[in-house]
A and B are shown apart, each in its own frame.
Chain A
Amino acid sequence: EVHLLESGGGLVQPGESLRLSCAASGFTFSTYAMAWVRQVPGKGLEWVSDITGDTTQTSYADSVKGRFTVSRDNSKNTVYLQMNSLRPGDTAIYYCAKDMKPNGKLDLDYWGHGTLVTVSS
């Protein structure tokens, strides 16, 4: 059974950093791209970033480009999101999600429960 468990969220001040982790199990982790998607409380879903299974390609939303870095450790079945220079607008629940097929199209089939990031002074 596929499980995704995010951690690392919390309350930080504007300008600070945070690293989110997503531990995966139940599938061959290195085969599939992984994505980070966020939901501002009470609002819709926004794709943030993704990384291919072999780590060769990463992508970012314009709103986080230059501030966030996605990475993964396939030996630990874990994907990370390093978030720097955080802004109040980054306040959201951050979900990690798994690509359904090894083609990187981000047809997302499994999601974690999410971790809440709050950026406030």
Chain B
Amino acid sequence: DIQMTQSPSSLSASLGDRVTITCRASHDISNSLAWFQLQPGKAPKSLIYAASSLQSGVPSKFSGSGSGTDFTLTISSLQPEDFATYYCQQYNTKPITFGQGTRLEIK
């Protein structure tokens, strides 16, 4: 199975900050990477697919980049609703696998 390693596991930031989360795959996954946002009691929300494509309705403050094994999710101008847990997921090779998550907290 392809292992997905996210860093950091947690992150404290202030309103208005810009943050970056990284995700590394144990094998080349091309651009078959997605990013999700999870908040307690809510349905997971897909943010990015194909490493850098924004899902419909997702604000442009979210951006993704990378290919191969190294990927990043950047969130700019943090607002209260952005404080959540973020996961990467590879879908290049089955079984699909997820990173362990990055918890973004308000400083």
Encoded as 1 (CB less than 8 Å from any A CB) or 0, chain B from 75 to 107 comes to 000000000000101011011111111000000
Contact among B38, B41, B49 for A107, CB-based, below 8 A: B49
Interface size on B, residues (CB 8 A): 25
Whether A59 and B95, one on each chain, are in contact in the complex, defined by CB atoms closer than 8 angstroms, is yes
**Beta-carbon contacts under 8 Å, A62-114 to B:** 95, 97, 100, 105-114
Whether B32 and A105, one on each chain, are in contact in the complex, defined by CB atoms closer than 8 angstroms, is yes
Q: How far is the CA of A58 from the CA of B22 in the complex (A)?
A: 31
Determine the chain A residues whose CB is within 8 A of the CB of B50 once the complex forms: 107
A44 sits at the interface (CB 8 A): yes
B65 sits at the interface (CB 8 A): no
Whether B44 and A95, one on each chain, are in contact in the complex, defined by CB atoms closer than 8 angstroms, is yes
Pair count A-B, CB < 8 A? 57
Whether A45 and B89, one on each chain, are in contact in the complex, defined by CB atoms closer than 8 angstroms, is yes
Determine the chain A residues whose CB is within 8 A of the CB of B98 once the complex forms: 44-47
**Beta-carbon contacts under 8 Å, A39-71 to B:** 39, 44-47, 59, 61
Interface size on A, residues (CB 8 A): 22
- Given A4-B43, A107-B91, answer yes or no on A44-B49 (Cβ-Cβ < 8 Å): no
Whether A108 and B34, one on each chain, are in contact in the complex, defined by CB atoms closer than 8 angstroms, is yes
Q: Give 6 closest A-B pairs by Cβ, nearest first.
A: A45-B98, A111-B44, A113-B43, A44-B100, A111-B43, A106-B96
Q: Would you list 20 pairs from A and B whose C-beta atoms are within 8 A, ordered by A residue?
A: A4-B43, A44-B87, A44-B99, A45-B87, A45-B98, A47-B95, A61-B95, A95-B44, A100-B49, A105-B32, A107-B34, A108-B46, A108-B96, A109-B49, A111-B36, A111-B43, A112-B43, A113-B41, A113-B43, A114-B43
